[in-house]
Amino acid sequence: MDAAASEPQYALPGTISFDEKKAPRLMGGLCAQCGAKVFPKPKICSGCWSSEQQDLALATRGTLYSFSIVHAARKGWPSPYAIAYVDLEDGVRICAPLDADLANPPPLDAPVELIVGPLRANADGTQVLSHRFKPIKEAR
Ligand SMILES: [Zn+2]
């Protein structure tokens, strides 16, 4: 069996790492000059133009800033789906799909956490994975 064929494909290669418990972390950038935190890691800081960008493991939890439900999806994408902006606990705003009950979506500012799951299918049917967020179920 071809090992490469069984490797998962990611929409943004190199932006997700997994810890020893297989929990995902997003890898962003930290500007060494001005301290700006950005996802994904840029080659040049949009704030100060520095090219000194360090790897930064981002927070895995945040709050739902906004979202939209997309009904007309591109070929290979599920429909409908929700695309969201999430404000991570470390201040970075991330755009990502939101895994939620679209008939009963979570309120804005709801706590969410990072997961990894299918984003779309390639033309050959191969699943492409991406970072996503899902609401955190509050313990009662
Ligand atoms: Zn900077």
% residues pLDDT > 90 (the chain): 79
pLDDT digits (tens, 9 = 90+) for 41-99: 999 999 999 999 999 999 999 999 999 999 998 888 889 999 999 999 999 999 999 99
Query: Ligand 1 centre and the CA of 77: distance in Å?
Result: 35
pLDDT digits (tens, 9 = 90+) for 118-130: 999 888 888 999 9
Query: Ligand 1 centre and the CA of 114: distance in Å?
Result: 26
Structure confidence at residue 1 as a pLDDT band (50, 70, 90): very low
Q: What is the pTM of this model?
A: 0.88
99 with 132: CB under 8 angstroms?
A: yes
> Which H or E run contains 3?
helix 3-6
Query: Ligand 1 centre and the CA of 54: distance in Å?
Result: 11
Structure confidence at residue 140 as a pLDDT band (50, 70, 90): low
CB atoms within 10 A of CB 4: 6
CA angle 30, 136, 38 (to 5 degrees): 15
Query: Ligand 1 centre and the CA of 39: distance in Å?
Result: 13
Query: Ligand 1 centre and the CA of 30: distance in Å?
Result: 8
Query: Ligand 1 centre and the CA of 28: distance in Å?
Result: 13
Query: Ligand 1 centre and the CA of 122: distance in Å?
Result: 36
